[in-house]
Amino acid sequence: MTIEQVQSEIQSAIPGAKVEIILNPSPSAQHSLLLDHEHVLAVATYLRDVSELRLDYCSNVTGIDWLPREKSEKVKVKNLVEGVEQEVEEVHKTVVPGYLEVVYHLFSVEKKHGPVILRLRTEDRAAKVHLPSLTPIWRAAEFQEREIFDLYGVIFDGHPDLRRILMWEGFVDHPMRRDYVEPDDYEYEPTPHDHVLQRSREESGRH
């Protein structure tokens, strides 16, 4: 079943579900489906249970942190230049706000096919980082959603046991975020060079 077929199957089975195809231009051509928060549980249950797909195995859940980025588009605009109408190319710059993304890779052990890739996006990177948890559908997602919560800060609503898994309780911040600042824990290295050498000179001057 192609990704377009999966999309139309979902849309006909669950009315109102927004399913957007995110194309993958690389040779692997593993296209994915972007789902909306409201219908994701219904869609996931459908994908797991429908007899043609039977995606019974969630092999991998991963997180991506997208920073706000500038998108530039070239637009041809008609302008009056010295009284003569000319077509001029203008560059329009728009800022795409940042968000956190979670990617689910689904396979079917029964039908021996896959992967079908689902994506979910949060509204932003600060306050609205809630996503519905798919652990009730695929139990395999439990630890991986905990890891994403720990390292990216996505809050999964409906997760049975959402705690940090790699870092300790009381740790502040999420280390896999792109703007994460590491603790300033410079230490001696046997062969310092570049900024490490610079830093070690400063350190030794301080003592």
Partner 1 sequence: MIDEQLKIELSRQGIFTTTLEELYNWGRKNSVWPLTFGLACCAIEMIATTMARYDLARFGAEVFRPSPRQADLMIVSGTVTKKMAPQVVRLYNQMPEPKYVIAMGACAISGGPFKQGYNVLKGIDRYVPVDVHIPGCPPRPEALIHAFMTLQKKIDGQHLSGADRPRHLNEALPSEFVVPEYGAHDLEPRSNDLVWPLPMSKAVTQG
How many CB atoms neighbour CB 56 within 10 A? 16
Whether the Cβ atoms of residue 186 and residue 199 lie closer than 8 Å to each other:
yes
Whether the Cβ atoms of residue 134 and residue 104 lie closer than 8 Å to each other:
yes
CB of 146 to partner 1, least distance (A): 14
Nearer of residues 136 and 175 to partner 1, judged by Cβ: 175
- Give the Cα separation of 172 and 7 in Å (integer): 39
CB of 17 to partner 1, least distance (A): 38
- Give the Cα separation of 89 and 77 in Å (integer): 6
If one asks whether residue 179 binds partner 1 (CB under 8 A), the answer comes out as no
How many CB atoms neighbour CB 130 within 10 A? 13
**What is the distance of C-alpha 195 from the center of its chain?**
33
Binds partner 1 (CB under 8 A): choice among 13, 173, 178, 179: 173
- Give the Cα separation of 191 and 196 in Å (integer): 9
CB of 140 to partner 1, least distance (A): 23
If one asks whether residue 143 binds partner 1 (CB under 8 A), the answer comes out as no
Binds partner 1 (CB under 8 A): choice among 76, 89, 168, 194: 168
Nearer of residues 41 and 196 to partner 1, judged by Cβ: 196
Nearer of residues 15 and 190 to partner 1, judged by Cβ: 190
The residues of the shown chain that bind partner 1, judged by CB under 8 A, are: 166-173, 175, 180, 182-183, 185, 187-188, 190, 192, 197, 200-201, 203-204, 207
